[in-house]
Homo-oligomer: A and B are copies of this chain.
Amino acid sequence: MATSDDATTDVPGPAPGKPRAAEPDSLDLFRTAFRRQPAGLAIISANSPEGPVGILSSSVASVGIDPPALSFTISTLSANAQAVRHAPTMVVHLLDAGDLALAQVFAPPGSTRFGPDMQWDRLPSGEPFLTDVATRMHCRAIGHMEVGESVIVAAEVIDVAHSDSHALPLVYTNRAFHVFHEVPIR
């Protein structure tokens, strides 16, 4: 898949050995249409029976403020994603350019994510989080919607930790990581 083995928002490739669900031409157009759509990047971490898990996601979006909530989409095809899908709570980290190395750790399928070199800790409530990311949100899942082999998760934001890092946002588009240079237009 595009940004991770688990996060599916960037038009993942077909599952191995599975027939495509629609006309190839139509699917190719769908992929092409979304390929250049820029998206901010996040890492979502949670506890699982096997220990801390985390996925890279380009689908985290604000949903509303009453309650403060966000959404993200995960595949149901990988073990990491399955663990996040079943976690009652999680930590959503919004990534900036200073977090590129973290994004690169979480991107490859099957990579070691909470190894000895990872800077992480646990919230008082137990969830694992990445200590070097400037913005993180402690969340509680409040809804799931299955769409084929993906699931859209709605999560209430319980608590926000945010330090003003002044770093530029990290963006995924056109199958690569980018730094987003903010040049407003009128």
Interface residues of A (CB under 8 A from B): 8-15, 18, 20-22, 26-27, 29-34, 36-40, 58-71, 73, 75, 94, 96-97, 100, 135, 137, 142-143, 145-150, 152, 154, 157, 159-162, 169, 171, 173-174, 176-186
Contacts and interface: CB of A to CB of B under 8 A. Distances in A.
B182 A174 contact: yes
Contacts of A143: 145-147, 152
Assembly stoichiometry (copies): 2
B182 A61 contact: no
Contacts of A12: 64-65
Contact of A183 (B22, B29, B66, B181): B181
Given A64-B73, A185-B179, A154 B160 contact: no
Contact of A185 (B15, B100, B148, B161): B100
